Structure 1
Amino acid sequence: MNITLDKKDTTNASIRITLEEADYQPRVEKKLKDYSRTASIKGFRPGKVPAGLLKKMYGKGILVDEVNNLLIESVDSYIKENKLSIVGDPLPNQTEAEGIDWDTQREFSFSYDIGLVPEFTYDVNKLNLTRTEVEITDKDINDSLDNLKARHGNYINPEEVGEQDLAFGGLKQIEGGEFQKENAYLFVNKLKEEAKPLFLGKKKGDVIVFDIQSIFADSDSVRLFTQIPQEEADKLAGKFELTIADIDRQVPAEMNEEFFKKVYGEDVKSEEEFKEKLTQELQKLYDKESDNRLLRDIQNQLVETTNIDLPNEFLKRWLKVSNKNLSDEEIAKEYDEFVKGLKWTIIKDKIAKDNDLKVEHEEVLEQAKNSFKEVYNFLQNDTPENESLLNQLADNFLKAEKGQNYMNTFQRVFTDKVAAFVKDQITPQVKKVSTEEFNKTEEAAS
């Protein structure tokens, strides 16, 4: 076997492999022997099929498979042994491959195009980072508390429609069309203020007449009311009548031990402890989101300030080969975003290599366990039973999806480790903000 590298420029190269019969023939013969032990052919007992017949029937297919397997292994080994930093996957020269005569040739030559990552430098000192820290207020605590009380509350059916109620019943168009709906759902808090008196105080069996496009505060409410597509809801107009069949009202949960237990388990037994726990949870939630924003800033700024030449034509060709359903137009449209993600991956790998940053299996396992803790509050209690359950859940999760869950979790830990390293090199400025300011900047960014 002969393997050579033809480096065309700093980002493009090709690997040429020449195989002689001695390179692949032992593999072919071994595969034929394996077939001879298992092949089931009419007229012959298992294991007694003549070698010549097997070769005639399967020899060419086995030759093609074994040569291709050897090529893939050889290219992969050559790249690793020579520490070539590549992007995408090696692309075989299809013209050469199609010109091979598998019936008569004994020596084969193949060429693979590869995209190279040239040497580059990054400079974390160019980064201008700011970490926004949210200050939790009494209003935030009370708003969150109201949401929790509503979520864990009960529903009753009052006699009369109130400000926060849901009234539902039959809807019928009486002017301008023939629309009807057996069950329409009216959220009173979606009505304009001037329209609410039409509905407040009404009882089961009452019939209310109204203009459908004039009573709601926004166009989406008509869709919610009628449960039809938005474009159809936008066209509804004229007089309608709603015959109230029933009324639903959500009654918030009371601040008692039963409520505390529903939300946080056995740990919280008083209103003071509950609010303290809620404050900690809110702060933890916003701190995590602040870290996520900082990570995005690190990623974006490093990509913007680091010059990396990429083999763009090769990458577009590789994307086309790897994604048969993508058109040239779609690739061109999405290419810039793809390059940003690719550059971030390349930069992360270099930072990790330069600073010997590695991810151990225990860190991947811990990340998976923490993910389950976030979903199930009771697992946050450090008990032997919970630890055993967490280990089992994490292990099953990481083994699922043919290892993809493991790789996704590994990449998350790896990215966090690189980001933490960069943050340690530069002390970000700290900007204190309210939850309202924080959420507004998030909406603007998205």
Structure 2
Amino acid sequence: MNITREQVDALNAVVTVAITKEDYKPKVDKVLQDYRKNASIPGFRKGAVPMSLIQKQYGKAILVDEVNKLLQSSLNDYLVEEKLDILGNPLPKLTEDFNWDADDYAFEFELGLAPEFKIDLAAKNKLVKYIIKADDTMLEEQLERIQKQYGKLVSKEKSEEGDDIRGTFTNEEKGINNTVTITPSIFKTKTTGKKFIGKKVGDVVTVSTKNLFDDDHKLMDYLKVSHDDVHGLEIDVDFTIEEINTTEKAELNQELFDKLFGEGVVTSVEQLKEKIKEDAEQQFATQADQKFLNDVTEFLIENTKFDLPAEFLKKWIQTVGENPLTAEQAEEEYAKSEKGLRYQLIEGKVITENNLQITFDDLKAYTSDVIKKQMAQFGQMNPTDADVDNIVSRVLSNKDEVKRLSEQVMSEKMLNLFKENVKAKEKEVTYQDFIKEMYGE
């Protein structure tokens, strides 16, 4: 057997695998002998069927099967030995007049090769690393929300300022049908808010979406419309009132503090504000980190220049699915996937060059932290190590969960690497300003 490679260009090559009769004959003969031992053909005793008959009946199929097995194993070994970094899979070059009756065979395969490129994490950029601060307005809103949440709910017949009004926004044309709880004060103008005062259950209030809120993005939450639709949206929506409640606010006392954070952790309103601020800014930091990771990813994709074996990849896309694609369909698929492929190559290089590896201890520690946070959300502030370890063991026994969590751990490692190496301007913002920045406004 002989394997040779012709380098077409930097991104394409053709490998030729030459197989002689001596390479495959012993294996073919062995399989034929096994067939003969077990063949049951009328007129012959088992194991006594003439080899010529076995050869005539099964020879060609066995030959093709064994040559293909030898071909695949040899090609795979060659790619490993030569350390060829290929994209997709080798594509066989079809030969219309291929002759299986010959003694020796030659098979050609097209290869798409991964490009060589450099990644410069320290390159100049206009990236921003946001630091989101919880301002006084947000803290006061959170205090009021907590007091309402732990207060006493009282049902009412007629709405007043400050009441919670539960109902459904609808607009048939836009397919809007979303049930929410509102207060008249959430609207941008007092005129709109007054429309909801003095109403009863079953009443319908019609409002225009134009300037309904101080920020059009709130339409996404209250009406469940997409970001693309919120700007300039000018339609009427009906709000059908289903429930009216007022809340006798809970007192800001030690009993409430202990319910929120455990006995004795918080002992004053000022400490409560500090705790709310700390928890909020931790959550904000996670969102800011995700934006930074996304922004660095986009920057690397746009600024790391390299060519791809596009024509090879389009041909490969035609063959890779369950159903073959036309050239036009493959062109469309390639256009959709090119950006993702570029980032996969960039990500792989970043991981390799910086030796980013995931150990079992990394995975276990990350999973434990996730579980503790989830338990805290349900009021279990101080779970025992044994309880957490038992849950971690169950989670990590699921392969799908291990895969998902491993991706999150690697994402965290990439984020930390970018924070250390990518120079970006730090900018302090409120959460509302961050939302505007996030959507490019």
TM over 0.5: yes
* Secondary structure in 2 matching 1:161: coil
In structure 2, the gaps of 5 or more residues are: 171-178
1:435 matched residue in structure 2: 431
- Letter of the 1:110 counterpart: F
What is the Cα deviation at residue 422 of structure 1? 4.5
2:175 matched residue in structure 1: none
**Native 8 Å contact 1:155 1:248 kept in 2:** no
What is the Cα deviation at residue 12 of structure 1? 0.8
2:173 matched residue in structure 1: none
CA shift digits 1:170-190 (9 cap, x unpaired): x9xxxxxxxxxxxx9996748
Per the normalisation by structure 1, the TM-score is 0.69
**Native 8 Å contact 2:128 2:292 kept in 1:** yes
- The structure with the largest helix share of the pair is 1
For residues 312 and 33 of structure 1, the distance between their equivalents in structure 2, rounded to whole angstroms, comes to: 47
1:175 matched residue in structure 2: none
- Letter of the 1:114 counterpart: L
- Letter of the 2:338 counterpart: V
2:91 matched residue in structure 1: 91
Distance 1:276 1:340, change over 3 A: same
Distance 1:121 1:263, change over 3 A: same
**Native 8 Å contact 2:157 2:244 kept in 1:** no
Q: After TM superposition, list the pairs within 5 Å mapping 1:9-88 onto structure 2.
A: 9-21=9-21, 23-24=23-24, 64=64, 67-88=67-88
Q: After TM superposition, list the pairs within 5 Å mapping 1:18-417 onto structure 2.
A: 18-21=18-21, 23-24=23-24, 64=64, 67-93=67-93, 95-96=94-95, 104=101, 107-128=104-125, 129-147=127-145, 156-163=154-161, 164-166=163-165, 189=184, 194=191, 200-203=197-200, 217=212, 247-249=243-245, 251=247, 254=250, 268=265, 270=267, 272=269, 274-323=272-321, 324=323, 332=331, 335=334, 338-377=337-376, 381=382, 383-397=384-398, 399-400=399-400, 405-417=401-413
For residues 246 and 62 of structure 2, the distance between their equivalents in structure 1, rounded to whole angstroms, comes to: 70
**Native 8 Å contact 2:154 2:248 kept in 1:** no
**Native 8 Å contact 1:19 1:109 kept in 2:** yes
1:3 matched residue in structure 2: 3
What is the Cα deviation at residue 248 of structure 1? 3.9
For residues 351 and 64 of structure 2, the distance between their equivalents in structure 1, rounded to whole angstroms, comes to: 40
For residues 280 and 119 of structure 2, the distance between their equivalents in structure 1, rounded to whole angstroms, comes to: 36
For residues 92 and 391 of structure 2, the distance between their equivalents in structure 1, rounded to whole angstroms, comes to: 46
Tell me which moved more, 1-10 or 252-261: 252-261
- Letter of the 1:362 counterpart: D
Per the normalisation by structure 2, the TM-score is 0.70
RMSD, aligned α-carbons: 5.0
What is the Cα deviation at residue 3 of structure 1? 1.8
In structure 1, the gaps of 5 or more residues are: 172-183
For residues 274 and 239 of structure 2, the distance between their equivalents in structure 1, rounded to whole angstroms, comes to: 49
CA shift digits 1:171-223 (9 cap, x unpaired): 9xxxxxxxxxxxx999674888546666533446x8x587x5779959989x9
- Letter of the 1:118 counterpart: P
Residue correspondences, number? 408
Tell me which moved more, 386-395 or 65-74: 65-74
For residues 358 and 147 of structure 1, the distance between their equivalents in structure 2, rounded to whole angstroms, comes to: 43
* Secondary structure in 2 matching 1:444: coil
Check if 1:421 corresponds to 2:417: yes
